[in-house]
Amino acid sequence: MDNLAKLGDFFVAALPWIMGAFFFVGCFFRYFINYTVKRHEWFAREFEKRVHHFMESQTPGEVKDVSFFVLTKKLLEKTYYETFEIREKFQRRKYDRVMHWSDRLFLVKQGCAWLVKDILKQIKFLKWTNDTPKLLHITKATLHHNPCFNRVFGIFPLSTSNDIVAVMPGLFVVAGILGTFIGIAKGLPELAAMDMANMESTKDIMGRFLGEISFAMHSSIFGIAFSLTMHVFNTVHSPERSYVSMVDRFESAMDLLWYRSDSNAYPAQLNEFDEHKDPSEALAEESIRLEVEKNPRGRDLDHTAKAKKVS
């Protein structure tokens, strides 16, 4: 019985510290869960921005036989290469150790590359119709199965971690009440030993009991405080808003590209997406290709040069 009482004393005394440790661990995970989801949204926002710029430059009926797959591939590649080229230029200009380690720790570049590849894989076999396909389902499936973005630090499952952190405010309240009841239960046996004829003894017992109750109430106070604070923290760093925004951005951007396209043809001589290619080189090749297409004389010279090489 004495061992059980000592265990109860230790639990009541250590409970606020245990709750504090779990509070900081929960806030840590909630922050980085939100950060991980924001990496989805960051790439989706950049992709949407380039799609809108492209649509603004188009004139209805000017260019026909546009393939949805080719158009989506070019804009996804442009987004991938440009965003990471800008980041690399920034790092070369002013070395940013935090950004460097965040890319490595959260697998940002690998996750975006996987995203591009998986979207292209799923839209490759879409049948062309006048109705818009279920691009929302494709977007959700791609994001859900991304191994770099659905895990925190590439280890902990994001959805499971988020669910655990979401219920922690309620657990703090329950743990605080449990600590209070344990403290009350520990002090009740002493009340049974009171001798009402001995006022001094009764006064001492009541004083100790009230002291234990007061100390046990601290666990409830800490539990409620941790619960309220973490509830506010979870609301501020909510990944759900970022996830909804990310899905909406991807879906709306791909819908616009589908409306602009005339088919979903897959060219035979189309190079596969290469995430290991140097961004500067990829963007330079694309700029040269666009310039040649704009300039008829440049196209003729290019064909002549190729013919000479063959002969």
Mean pLDDT computed over every residue of the chain: 76
Nearest CA-CA partner of 225 in 184, 183, 176, 182: 176
**pLDDT exceeds 70 at position 89:** no
Q: How confident is the model at residue 299 (pLDDT cuts 50, 70, 90)?
A: very low
Q: Strands 156-157 and 151-152, how do they pair?
A: antiparallel
Residue 309, pLDDT score:
47
Residue 21 token pair: 């440790």
Residue 297, pLDDT score:
43
Distance (Å, whole) CA 133 – CA 114: 22
CA angle (263, 267, 268) in 5-degree steps: 150
Distance (Å, whole) CA 185 – CA 177: 12
Higher pLDDT, 186 or 45: 45
Nearest CA-CA partner of 294 in 306, 286, 283: 286
Distance (Å, whole) CA 79 – CA 100: 19
Q: How confident is the model at residue 207 (pLDDT cuts 50, 70, 90)?
A: confident
Over range 191-213, report the average pLDDT. Answer: 70
Q: Are 94 and 100 within 8 A, CB to CB?
A: no
3-class secondary-structure state, position 152: strand
pTM over 0.85: no
Nearest CA-CA partner of 78 in 48, 108, 114: 48
Q: What is the pLDDT of residues 105-158, one digit of tens each?
A: 667 777 788 888 888 888 888 888 877 788 888 888 887 787 777 777 777 888
Distance (Å, whole) CA 65 – CA 128: 12
Distance (Å, whole) CA 171 – CA 231: 12
